[in-house]
Amino acid sequence: MLIICSKCKTQGVVDNSKLHDNGRTVNCNKCNYTFVVMTEYIDISEITYEVGRHLKSISNYSKDNLYDEVNRVIVDKCNALERTKHNCLEIFYKRAEAYYGLGIYDLALRDLEKGIILQPRFAKLYNLAGELYFKIGDHGKAIENLNVSASLDLYNIDPMINRARVYIKLGKYELAKQDIDRILRLDPQSQAALLLRFTVNLFICNRESTCSDASVMVVNLLDMVNKLESNTDV
């Protein structure tokens, strides 16, 4: 299985047979950073094939029900796999993600709690829990979970992005800015961080910074549009 070190971004391969159902702590052989990875029993190409097959029977589908369809197939796969693997981190995590996407938050939380019991050091579980609590308006629990996630994997920007979003929602712009600065130190190209900084500056009426971030974003957006147009020409 291919893994990427969250600190130095070096790619490495871990022998599948050496992975456990409750994940495994790996050590980057370049920078020596330690982090937890999960197994990959669930084959994404199989899921896209299945979704394609289902879509043929839906005559009137939109992007929204395509997304729902993918999540439903993932739930089905996880349930089928669980018949032979009873306590598996990947099943709990992937199914929680799918339930979250489908808006079935109680079942998503139930899977996240099971995952945390199995592997309390897997940062992604707390990040997803934080995102979910933010979605349902429990900002206290959102921050609590995102703090844990950020402390378990210091180089992963996802919990910082989510935490900055919660802080902006709460009007705590200074705290949001601290997270945004951290993200940009780790990934100076982060579009999410740029957008968050733009939003903060807009709220605190920092006209100069808002304009400079906006101009960078417009350039990036035009670049994206150009790429899309050149793709559709073919």
The residue written with tokens 């206290």 in the block is 140
CB of 24 to Zn ion, least distance (A): 16
Q: Which is closer to Zn ion, CB of 42 or CB of 154?
A: 154
Nearest to 118 by CA among 94, 82, 93, 143: 93
Q: Which is closer to Zn ion, CB of 35 or CB of 92?
A: 35
First to last CA, the chain: 34
Question: Is residue 146 within 8 Å of 163, Cβ to Cβ?
Answer: yes
CB of 174 to Zn ion, least distance (A): 31
**Contact code string over 61-100 relative to Zn ion, x by CB under 5 A:** ----------------------------------------
Q: Which of 5, 75, 150, 160 binds Zn ion (CB under 5 A)?
A: 5
Angle subtended by helix axes 173-186 and 191-203, to nearest 10: 160
Task: Quote the Cα angle for 43-8-31, to 5°.
Answer: 110
Q: Which is closer to Zn ion, CB of 5 or CB of 47?
A: 5
CB of 30 to Zn ion, least distance (A): 5
Q: Which is closer to Zn ion, CB of 5 or CB of 148?
A: 5
Task: Identify residues 7-66 at the interface with Zn ion (CB under 5 A).
Answer: 7-8, 10, 28, 30-31, 33
CB of 144 to Zn ion, least distance (A): 28
CB of 13 to Zn ion, least distance (A): 14
In three-state form (DSSP H/G/I as H, E/B as E, the rest C), the secondary structure along 99-132 is HHHHCCHHHHHHHHHHHHHHCCCCHHHHHHHHHH
Binding footprint of Zn ion, residue count (CB under 5 A): 8
CB of 5 to Zn ion, least distance (A): 3
Q: Which is closer to Zn ion, CB of 8 or CB of 80?
A: 8
CA separation for the pair 186, 184 (Å, rounded):
5
Tell the burial category of 85 from Cβ atoms under 10 Å away from its Cβ (0-12, 13-18, 19+). middle
CB-CB neighbours of 147 under 10 Å: 14
CB of 77 to Zn ion, least distance (A): 31
What CA–CA distances, in Å, run from 153 to 67, 101, 175, 206, 222?
29, 24, 19, 32, 34
Q: Which is closer to Zn ion, CB of 69 or CB of 153?
A: 153
Task: Identify residues 113-142 at the interface with Zn ion (CB under 5 A).
Answer: none
Q: Which is closer to Zn ion, CB of 78 or CB of 123?
A: 123
Chain residues in the site for Zn ion (CB under 5 A):
5, 7-8, 10, 28, 30-31, 33
